Every structure is written in structure tokens, then in C-alpha cells.
Amino acid sequence: MANGNDPILLTPGPLTTSLATRQAMLRDWGSWDAAFNAITTSIRKDLLDVVRGEGTHECVPLQGSGTFSVEAALANLVPRDGKVLVPQNGPYCQRIVKILGYLGRAHAAIDMPEDQHPTAAMLEAAFRADPSITHVAQVHLETGVGMLNPLEEIAGACERHGKGLIVDAMSAFGAVQIDLSRTAIDALVAASGKCIEGPPGMGFVIARRTALEKCGGNSHSLAMDLHDQWTYMQRTSQWRFTPPTHVVAALRAALDQFIAEGGTAARGARYRRNCDTLIEGMAALGFKSFLPRSVQAPVIATFHAPADPAYDFKTFYEKVRARGYILYPGKLTQAETFRVGCMGAIDASEMRNVVSAVAGTLKDMGIRHVAPRAAA
């Protein structure tokens, strides 16, 4: 990597964006001006189209990181006397539990290991045991390890039992098909800097209109009052408070490229090729994947750290970085791992290159035992 050039981000957002997307940030926009309002309106429509929400749902963008939008969705769509069930298999599920604690909303978790996923039967047992549950909050793609939770199965159970469903689809939106015309979801949350490949800086909630209409007065916060943001935007086509104009303009450019690539099907297929290429290459070096392929989402892969005493993550990270790729630390408590993102404006050739960078690093560090310590 020549001096002055930037490494490729193999991280689950922020990720490597295209030059066309970044160049869209070279212009300043007036947040009150009709030209900018038209961008906001078109983004809201196109994000809704990604998940077939036209007619039933509304897209409400919100300033801040994706977590701000997750908190806003929970605070607005769960009434103050509601109770939320959280099937919990990773750090982003834990974050939802933490948010519900801040909000003072009653909640219960079904805890499970990070390599297992919830089932309809689990949810139904919980509904029977506690009829006061009104909502389920589910992470679609647990970025903690890269686990794809079975969204349609969960949505089916919620629908049969009349429970609301709020989905943190942060790392899935745009890469994994979600069809709101066939899957009963009250609110789907994602952000600009994930699989749509925009820069980070705004999130959005795609909420069922009938649920949104009822949620005035629920919010704990002015800044995160989704109902207020929505009604103001409907009336004026403007944001209530200063929007991140450059990020919004770049998201517009990113959406144009997303549509031109062929939408979720094409983007998901590219990420799947990236992920397969990566996992095969890493397996050939001796790395063991944390997840079985059946639940491995095509967005980020988690690998066990090598057993070799010559391995330490910091050195490994820095040497791979010097070869042009930024990896991501593991987010597990129980096993030592690291993560490699497969998302962003990258293709399978980058994945072959990162495997080669990892191979060179192993040699450099004198790591011979690449398989993990235990029979994990």
C-alpha cells in the first residue's frame, strides 16, 4: 500500500464506499431548499421500495448512527405500558435490552448462545408463559458474529399471536431479501452506512403507517421523536432539525448505484460471492469459521483466532493493515475471534487479496498452528 493510499475497510460499516458516492459529498446543500427536499423525498421512497413497503409502510429518516434509530423505533412504537420480548443471541440483541432498560419499558429476554438462533416454537412458548408481551424486538443479522436469524419464521409467530415486531435489520437491509408485503413487520431499522453503501451518519425506520399513526406522545425524547419527525416531514418534506446534508446526498448516489446493480438480489449475490471466496481461502490457510455455513450471513465472517502462541490480534491487525486491508476485532466474550467484512464497494478479487495478505502475515509472524486452541 503506497503512502497516502487508503486501506480497504473489511469492517461491518463504515465500509469502503465507491468514489461516485464520496464525490456526491463535494457539494453543499441548503436544508430548506427544494432541491435538497427532493433528495430526501426520493430517498424515503426508494428505501421503502427495497423492502416492498409501498402503500403499507413509511420511511422516516433520523440523524445519528443506526443505534439512534433503533432506540427511536423502540421508544415510539412500543407504548409506555407495552412489554417487549428479545430473543438474544449477540451484542446487538443485548443493546436492544439495554435501550429498553433506559426507556423503562418492561421486557424479557430469551438468552441463547451466539451460534444458535431463535425459533417460532421458542417465541410461542414465551407468549404462552407471559401473555403481557406486546412486542418482539429481533436483530435480523447479528453483526456480532454474522448470524442470520430466521426473520420470516419469527414474523409468522408474531403475526399468529398478534404481537408487534420491531426488527434491527442494520446489516441485512439491501443484502438479504425482506418483503414487507408478505412478512408482517411493524418496524424495520437500518442505516445509511451499511449494505446500501453510503457514508454513516443517518439511520431510518420503515414503520407500518397504522402503527406510526398511533404512536404520538410515546417518545421519551424530542430528538428521537419519530412520530414528530414523520408528521413534520409529511407536511414540509423537510427534516425537523439540521440533516447531515452531505451524507444524505451521498446516500442518494449510493442508492442510484444500488438500483443500477440490480437491487438486493444482485447485491446479496455479490456479497455471497465475497463471503464464499473469503471463507474458502481462509479455510485453505487453516482458519476455522465460527458459524456453520447454514446460518452464515453473507456480510461478515467470524474466524477463530489461531492457537499458535505467536498470534496476537494487535500485531496481526497491523500487519494485515500494512498490506492494505482493515479487519475487525471479534465481539464475542467466550471465544477469541476476529471478523472480516464482506460488504462495501468490493468484489471477490479483494477477498482473494485479503486471504493473500493474511497468508503473508501468518508467515511474517511465524504462526504455524492456524486452527483454534480448543476443538471449538
The residue ranges that bind a second copy (CB under 8 A) are 6-7, 9, 11, 13-17, 19, 22-23, 25-33, 63-68, 71, 95, 98-99, 102-103, 191, 193, 199-201, 219-225, 241-247, 250, 321, 326, 328-329
Gap between the Cα atoms of 330 and 88, Å rounded: 18
Dist. CA 247–CA 286, nearest whole Å: 40
Q: For the CB of residue 56, give the shortest distance to a second copy in the complex, in Å.
A: 27
Residue closer to a second copy (CB basis): 103 or 301: 103
Contact assessment for residue 268 and residue 298, using Cβ atoms and an 8 Å cutoff: yes
- Distance of closest approach, residue 157 Cβ to a second copy, in angstroms: 27
Question: Which residue, 17 or 296, is less far from a second copy as judged by CB?
Answer: 17
CB of 17 to a second copy, least distance (A): 6
| Closest CA relative to residue 163, chosen from 99, 108, 98 | 108
Strand arrangement of the beta sheet that strand 187-191 belongs to: 57-63, 202-208, 187-191, 164-168, 135-139, 83-88, 106-111
Which residues are CB-neighbours of 3 under 8 A, at least 6 positions away? none
Nearer to a second copy, 154 or 300 (CB): 300
Query: How far is it, in rounded angstroms, from Cα 98 to Cα 93?
Result: 9
Which of 127/316 has CB closer to a second copy?
316
Among the listed residues 310, 330, 331, 328, the one whose alpha carbon sits nearest the alpha carbon of residue 320: 328
Q: Between 74 and 275, name the residue whose CB sits nearer to a second copy.
A: 74
Residue 358 CB partners (closer than 8 Å, separation 6+): 282, 285, 287, 320
CA-to-CA distance for 248 and 243, rounded, in angstroms?
8
Instruction: Tell me the closest approach of the beta carbon of residue 162 to a second copy, in angstroms.
Output: 28
Exposure b/e, 144-163, CB count within 10 A at least 16 = b:
bbbbbbebeebbbbbeebeb
| Residue where the block lists cell 428505501 | 47
Supply the DSSP string of 61-93, one letter for each residue: EEES-HHHHHHHHHHHHS-TT-EEEEEE-SHHH
CB of 225 to a second copy, least distance (A): 7
Question: Shortest approach of a second copy to residue 58 CB, angstroms?
Answer: 21
Cβ proximity to a second copy: between 67 and 274 the closer is 67
Question: Nearest approach, Cβ of 151 to a second copy (angstroms)?
Answer: 22
Nearer to a second copy, 34 or 375 (CB): 34
**What count of other Cβ atoms lies within 10 Å of the Cβ of residue 371?**
14
> In this complex, which beta carbon is closest to a second copy, that of residue 98 or of residue 369?
98
Closest distance of CB 264 from a second copy, Å: 22
Residue 8 beta carbon to a second copy: minimum distance, rounded to whole angstroms: 9
User: Given the complex with a second copy, which of 282 and 346 has the nearer CB atom?
Assistant: 346
Sign (positive/negative) of CA torsion 223, 228, 232, 238? positive
Identify whether the C-beta of residue 92 lies closer than 8 Å to the C-beta of residue 99. Answer: no
